[in-house]
Amino acid sequence: MNLRYFLATGTIPAIHPAAMVLLCVFLVSSLLVKKSFCSWLCPVGTISEYLWKIGRTLIRRSLSLPRSLDFTLRTLKYLLLAFFVFIVFTMSAAELGGFLESPFAVIADVKMLDFFRYLSLAGFTVLAGLIVLSIFIQNFWCRYLCPYGALMGIVSTASPIKIRRDAQACIDCGKCNRACPFLTL
């Protein structure tokens, strides 16, 4: 919202300007070095990495969903991203400014802290479900639900950096594809 407001008005919002700066830094890093944010900076991604590694230790492998279900679930994060982009880009600059200066926006970070400090049964159930799913399915949140990761993934397609395997040395064992889902031929 801050970035959209800045683009519409040329004014940096007074409330949470660091959010806009961080978004821009993450977008540029995704453009330059692909999804580096997701794999190196995102705390949820880091926790997710540890969870599936714990799961792999417990059951000796990560579960794989059927291809059609996997594809269907992967579209969810793009649908969430589209929803948020639609909301932000259908608001006028005045509406964005009004929201960004509203009492809710001013204390949004405190509200998020309170969500975790005073976790409801529904919140606990959702978080516990995501944790369990992340133990058994590699990077469940990141792979299927994270709209921020979806945005970084879209931007990273324009990156000049590509990971490629050496076709001369390849013995078609498939190990590199299993280890790195971003590998291209």
- What is the pLDDT of the chain when averaged over all its residues? 87
Domain ranges of the chain: 2-179
State mean pLDDT over 59-81. Answer: 89
164 pLDDT higher than 80: no
Residue 151 · residue 81 · CB < 8 Å: yes
Structure confidence by residue, pLDDT tens digits, 97-144: 999 999 988 888 888 889 989 999 999 999 999 999 999 998 899 999
2-27 as b/e, with b when 16 or more CB fall inside 10 Å? bbbbbeeeeeebebbeeebeeeeebb
State mean pLDDT over 50-78. Answer: 88
Tell me what percent of the residues of the chain surpass a pLDDT of 90: 45
> What is the pTM for the complete model shown?
0.79
Residue 156 · residue 31 · CB < 8 Å: yes
pLDDT the model gives residue 128 = 95
Residue with tokens 């801050």: 2
Residue 99 · residue 105 · CB < 8 Å: yes
Structure confidence by residue, pLDDT tens digits, 24-49: 999 998 888 887 787 778 888 889 88
Sign of CA dihedral 144, 148, 151, 152: negative
DSSP state of 36: H
